[in-house]
Structures are given as C-alpha cells and as structure tokens.
Structure 1
Amino acid sequence: MSGDQTAPPSCTVNPFEFLHITPNHDGTITRLYELPTTPAAPDHNGSSPVITKDFIINPNHNTWLRIFLPRQALDNNSSSNTTKLPLIVYYHGGGFILLSAASTINHEFCSNMAIQLAAVVVSVEYRLAPEHRLPAAYDDAVEALHWIKSTHEKMLLDFVDYSKCFLMGFSAGGNIAYEVGLRASTAVDDFHPLKIKGLILHHPYFGGSTRTGSELKLVNDQIFPLSANDLSWELSLPVGVNRNHAYCNPTVGGGSNHCDKIKELGWWVLVAGCDGDPLIDRQVELVEMLKKKGVQVEAQFNEGDNHGVELMDATKADSLFVFLKNFIEKILG
C-alpha cells in the first residue's frame, strides 16, 4: 500500500502461512483452516448456564447475531424478581479476515462473560475482508444495532434494560466497536430505545503508516507478528488507501470530530491491553488522544501477557470480567 512501511528485514514470519490463507486471482482468499465452531444451544433440557440462539440480520449479506442469555435471568424472571440486565453488543476479532461469532473461542468467551457480568451479550456476525473490505464490517455492525432496537424477540424484550447498552469488541472487533460508537454518537435518536453508555475496547486493533516501538520490539510475536498485522490491513482496508486512513489510525489529524459528541453524551471509553501485545503503543496513543478531547477514559494495560490472552486463559478472563463488571457498575451507579 502506498506510503506504508514494509515489514523490516528482521521479520521472519511468512504472513500467509501464519494466517493459514492463500490469495486468489480474483482478490479473495482461501482460508485453509478455521478454528472449531459451536452451534447455538436453545437449552431444551434446562441445564445450560447460558441459553444461546441465532437470529438473521440480513440474509443478503449472510449476517446474523447470537444472543447469550444467562439462565439466572430466566430463573429470576419466573419469580418475583424481574430486574432486567445490561446489554453488551460484542464484535469478535480476527483481523477483519478470519473467525466468526460461532467460533468456539468466541462463543465460550461470550458465554462466560454473560454469566460473570450478569448481562445479556449479543455477538455479531459481520462480513469479512477481503471479499468485503471496510467499511462493510462497520455497516453490518450498525445494522445489528438497528435489528436489536426494533426486534420483538422476547429474549431481549423480556430480559434487557435497553438504557444500559455497551459496545464491546476484541482486536478487530474493538476497532469496530470504536467506529460504530463514532457513528452512533451522531445519531442517538435513530437507535432509541437503545442508550449506549460506553465503549469497551479489548486489545483493539489499530495501526498506522509508521512503525511504533512495540511493533518493532515484537516484530516476530508468536500471536500477531508484524507481517501478519500488515497483511491483515492490506486485505481489509479500502483499495488504494494506506494505514494512515482513519479506519486504521484513529489518531490521524488529531482524531475524529465525533469524539466531541462522545464527550457531550457522557459516554465512557475503556481500553484494555497489555505490554506483550505489539499493538499496545497504538492503544496508548488512542487513550491519550481521547483524554485530550475530554472523553471519559479508563485504561488498563497489564504487564506481560499477549494479544488476546483472555480468550485462551480462563484465569486471565476471570480477572478481565471482574474489571469489566466494576467498570460497568461504576457507570450505571
């Protein structure tokens, strides 16, 4: 891509092999390996701690969402306690080019989050690049919010407090949550009765045309090496733009003017990362930019760990959920 630095010679990882993909002549890719998937479980036998169900958003785009309802809410609803739960709209990671809301790693993370946070989680299946380059994923993510706010599905109507909504994503999903937040901040009435309270960016995926210290330090990172980072952007950004496009670099030009709207609305932005992640410098830059704009920001950058550690380590996930629960309770009072 014009204007972008190529991976330095010290980068020894073949990105196509690392990502298990091969390029095709028509601009698509063949995904050679997909992580295991888990189907939704409507819970006909009454034993599952989380009830999950899939719903189509847009059949023309093959987009859908999966609702995660903690059984405790169902039990409470059948008694005198009918307290409704916060809503977390979740966007999965995968560099915009891989994985699904049905991927077992994402399904289990959302299931555990619904239990630990006592929240209803809605995980969104969006179109992947390069078959559908950005902003397709952003458009799908916004369309999911419109589906949620207008559906008559009882799993949401009976159990969700629509005034307590958070947008959350991991990695590329964190990027999506941020972009959707920018868009939604300028059209809050369009999403009524949904009231967004904050954005939760978990190891969000951002970049830029110049190299950061953390990218160079972790050039051959075992989880997300620089060559794979570069290739993911090359496959997902609009054709002809470089990594200083706002989709990739949210701090370019001092940041979006929509941040002023986020400040005005009083939304909080949480950024969670770790210093074993090549992306951490970009995440810190985002936090600093948002603070300069007066946005309410909370940041947690752990020592050690790696990109997406909480999706692979249950103990780390539990610690993250405690942190998120405290963050949400602080905002909701």
Structure 2
Amino acid sequence: MATISLSQRSTNFRRPNHHSPVVEEIGGLIRVHNDGHVERPPLVPHVSCMVPLELEVAATNVTIDQFNTNLWARVYSPTNRRLPSKLPVLVYFHGGGFCVGSASWACYHEFLTNLARVSCCVIVSINYRLAPENRLPAAYDDGIDAVSWLKREALKGVVNELKRCDFTCLFLAGDSAGANIAYHVGSRLVSRHVLTPKGMILIQPFFGGETRSMSEKRSIQPANSALTLPASDTYWRLALPVGATRDHPWCNPLARGAPRLSDLKALKTMVCVGELDILKDRNLEFAASLAGSGSRVQSEVYKDVGHAFQVLQNYPMAQTRTHEMMVHVKGFINQ
C-alpha cells in the first residue's frame, strides 16, 4: 500500500484565494471562511473505480439519490468463483472528521479493495455529505438512506456487483468519523423496519467529550499524525450543531441523553483500537460500556500504530497491523 504523508500538509494552501477571514482551519485539509466558503485542498488524490484484475475484485460507482443529496457509493465485490454464491455485505463509511474525505480517495479505494478480497465480502462505501456545509445529522441521514436503498436493491437486483450479497448478513462499518456514523446509523436501525444489521465494525471510532481522557491528555502525536487534539476539537466544532458541546450525544455516546447502549444487544460489535491513538482510552471505555450493557463485543488493540494507520500507512508497522485487522474482520463476520 502507498504511504500518504500528512507531514507537509500545511503547505497545501498556496495563497489566499478568498477574501473573507478564516474562522476555522486544519492545516492542509480544510479552511472555513467567515462567509461560509470552504476550501479543501486535494491532499489525497481521487481515483476511478478501476481495480487490477489480479486482485479478483470488481468495483463500480452507483447513484443512491441523484436529486436531493447527490448521495452515491462505490461497491466492491470479490470475483473469485471459488467463494460461496452469496457473500456478507459491509456498508462502509470513510473517515475524515465528518469534514473531509471521499469514497473515491485513493487510500480508501486501495484499503477497501483489499478488505473485500481478504474478508470475502461485498463492500458498499458511502460517499455521504460533509460538514460544515451539511452538519450532523446529515451524514447519519445519508447512512439510513443508503441502507434503505440497499433494501430496495435486494428486491430489484439491478446492480451486478450486489447480486452476490446475502442481505441477511449485513454489517455496518467505518473508521474514525465513519465508525461514529456506523454506530449512530446502527442505533437508528434497531428501531426501524429497514434492514437489520447483524453487527458493527468500528475502527478507531471518533467519539469525544468535554472531559479529556488520559490518552487525549498524554499521547504525544508525531508530525504526520492523522488526528491531534486541536484537530479533533475543530472537527467537532464544524460537525456538531452550532453551539453544541462535545457532550452532545452524537459526539459522546456515554453522555446523558445518548441512545441507550442496551438497545444494541441484538448487534454484535467489533471495536478496533490503535495503541498510539489519542482516542485509545475513549474507544476502550466505550467498548467496555457496550459489553456491560449486555452486547457481544470484540475489542482488538493494534500495537505500535496510531489513528487511521490502515488507510494512511504512516507508521512503520501499519502494513502488518492492517493485514491483521483484515483477518480479524473476516473472522468476526463469519462467527
């Protein structure tokens, strides 16, 4: 996998090209102006859905809502004929603090191609709406719309890459902000008659809170870290409703007023944690609380890697740990 460097990202804003004052900025990723104008430099290249034949995965882009939200997805389907005729399906949400990222980013295209191949499942990667133009719950709404579309697709069978899906074996998955979306979409689906997920795969879920955890306070992040505490706070200011604190239930799943964890007993959950991630303690506390509510929870801690190691490959052990995680995901799905 290719390494994507974030160490020089602050240089990606070449010159002021908008005259309104900047009110929020995460170097090289996003700049928000006072008049609402948003800049997102092309730090990560966008790629087509082409996949080398030797990887035995087919990919295609599909439109979910062309007229209202421009919601679309990239579908990855293993082509190996030795696999069963029906395969599990993962609805996947990319990371990026709710504010950046795309299903067509090169790092996600490569990661999900390999995850589909290793885990032997069909992956539907959702290109949801981004904040601050579309603050939460827009991304959650897009997730529900995507699952509703899948339910219709299960009946119609129009997309070839989805014809191998076993829709009774559906999982919600994502990394960072995408894992947050997967969790909140799952929380909604347990009370709706859409498609009931079998489980959730939450990779370094992006949760927060007003009270700092120990790993947030003490973890010293390298220059190329995908998530620092100041960046985390900025993402939340841009994504949450205006005026909301980090103890809003969409940010803090353990806060007062958050969905009851006990309502998720029907869903088994896998929580993947990076040992060097500032979110480590918060992720482990969430997993323990979910297990304490009666849910089946599998927690995996990946040593010597930090946030988003599986897509950015910016740690020496990233490639090894990414393969380990893919194998764990396959085992979890097939339990």
TM-score (norm 1): 0.85
Deviation at 1:327, TM superposition (A): 1.3
Matched, 1:20 2:23: no
Give the structure 2 partner of residue 57 of structure 1. Answer: 64
| C-alpha distance in 1 between matches for 2:297 and 2:103 | 27
| C-alpha distance in 2 between matches for 1:324 and 1:168 | 10
Matched, 1:124 2:116: no
Matched, 1:160 2:165: yes
Q: Is the 8 A contact 2:26 2:231 kept in 1?
A: no
Deviation at 1:235, TM superposition (A): 0.5
| C-alpha distance in 1 between matches for 2:201 and 2:28 | 26
After the TM superposition, which segments of 4 or more aligned residues of structure 1 sit over 3 Å from their partners? Answer: 219-222
Give the structure 1 partner of residue 6 of structure 2. Answer: none
Deviations 1:71-114 (A, max 9, x none): 21xx35xxxx7520000110000010011000000111110001
Distance change >3 Å, CA 278–CA 299, structure 1 → 2 = same
Distance change >3 Å, CA 154–CA 56, structure 1 → 2 = closer
Higher relative contact order (CA 8 A, sep 6+): 1
Q: How many residues align structurally?
A: 303
Q: How does 1:208-219 map to 2 (within 5 A)?
A: 208-218=209-219
Deviation at 1:53, TM superposition (A): 0.6
Q: Is the 8 A contact 1:244 1:252 kept in 2?
A: yes
Distance change >3 Å, CA 167–CA 245, structure 1 → 2 = same
Q: Is the 8 A contact 1:168 1:174 kept in 2?
A: yes
Give the structure 2 partner of residue 271 of structure 1. Answer: 271
Q: Is the 8 A contact 1:220 1:226 kept in 2?
A: no
Q: Is the 8 A contact 2:173 2:182 kept in 1?
A: yes
Q: Where in structure 2 are there 5+ consecutive unaligned residues?
A: 1-9, 12-23
- Which of 99, 102, 106 is the aligned partner of 1:100? 102
- Which of 182, 191, 203 is the aligned partner of 1:186? 191
Deviations 1:157-200 (A, max 9, x none): 5201111111000000000000000000111x322xxx411100
Give the structure 2 partner of residue 234 of structure 1. Answer: 237
Q: What percentage of residue pairs aligned between the two structures are identical?
A: 35
Q: Give the secondary-structure state (helix, strand or coil) at the position aligned to 2:253.
A: coil
- Which of 299, 304, 319 is the aligned partner of 2:324? 319
Matched, 1:84 2:86: yes
Distance change >3 Å, CA 156–CA 168, structure 1 → 2 = same
Distance change >3 Å, CA 89–CA 17, structure 1 → 2 = closer
Matched, 1:146 2:151: no
Matched, 1:173 2:181: no
Q: CA RMSD in A?
A: 2.1
TM-score (norm 2): 0.85
Distance change >3 Å, CA 155–CA 216, structure 1 → 2 = same
Matched, 1:203 2:216: no
Q: Which amino acid aligns with 2:44?
A: L
Which structure dedicates a bigger proportion of its chain to helix? 1
Q: Give the secondary-structure state (helix, strand or coil) at the position aligned to 1:127.
A: coil
